[in-house]
């Protein structure tokens, strides 16, 4: 006779019946632990990447003549204690780069509005911010 077969033997040997709640308990604990760890990572990553070290916004550009284009842009930095730089480019009708300038942003202030003139080798129709670092 198997000791799992009758309630008397299960009680005598201290074998508890497996219930649905007991089986679910281990899964609930694992799911809650995963939810806490994953949720904490999700909140951290959303907060960290929502506020980049440096962000820039193009305000306007104007082609002054065939040899230069003016650009006005806004820069916001999280760490004002170090200097940053932005690479600005001028493009022609076929999106070829016809001018490029590296604008050095000094340390000290968190936000700037910059007016820069980009010299070009051909007539430019657009200007943009390549990237800031």
The answer on pLDDT for 107 being more than 80 is yes
pLDDT at 115: 93
CA distances from 20 to 5, 17, 32, 126 (A): 19, 10, 18, 67
The answer on pLDDT for 100 being more than 60 is yes
Residue 21 pLDDT level (bands cut at 50, 70, 90): low
What is the spatial distance between Cα 36 and Cα 19, in angstroms, rounded to a whole number?
27
Task: Return mean pLDDT, the chain.
Answer: 87
What is the spatial distance between Cα 89 and Cα 46, in angstroms, rounded to a whole number?
30
pLDDT tens digits for 30-63?
899 999 999 999 999 998 888 888 889 999 999 8
State pTM to two decimals: 0.66
pLDDT at 19: 66
- Measure the N-to-C terminal CA separation of the chain; round to a whole number of Å: 77
CA distances from 4 to 1, 21, 129 (A): 9, 19, 75
Cβ within 8 Å of residue 117, ≥6 positions away: 64, 68, 69, 70, 71
What is the spatial distance between Cα 26 and Cα 9, in angstroms, rounded to a whole number?
26
Kindly state the average pLDDT of the residues 66-94.
Answer: 92
Three-class SS of residue 45? helix
Give the whole-number percent of the chain exceeding pLDDT 90. Answer: 52
Residue 28 pLDDT level (bands cut at 50, 70, 90): confident
- 82's tokens: 């170090």
């Amino acid at each position: 006779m198997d000791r799992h077969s009758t309630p008397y033997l299960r009680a005598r040997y201290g074998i508890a019946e497996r219930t649905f709640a007991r089986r679910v308990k281990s899964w609930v604990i694992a799911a809650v632990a995963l939810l806490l760890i994953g949720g904490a990572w999700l909140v951290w990553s959303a907060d960290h990447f929502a506020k980049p070290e440096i962000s820039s916004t193009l305000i306007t550009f104007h082609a002054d003549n065939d040899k230069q284009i003016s650009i006005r842009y806004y820069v916001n930095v999280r760490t004002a204690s170090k200097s940053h730089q932005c690479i600005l480019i001028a493009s022609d009708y076929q999106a070829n780069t016809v001018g490029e300038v590296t604008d050095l942003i000094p340390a000290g202030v968190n936000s700037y509005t910059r007016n820069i003139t980009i010299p070009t080798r051909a007539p430019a129709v657009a200007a943009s911010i390549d990237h800031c670092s």
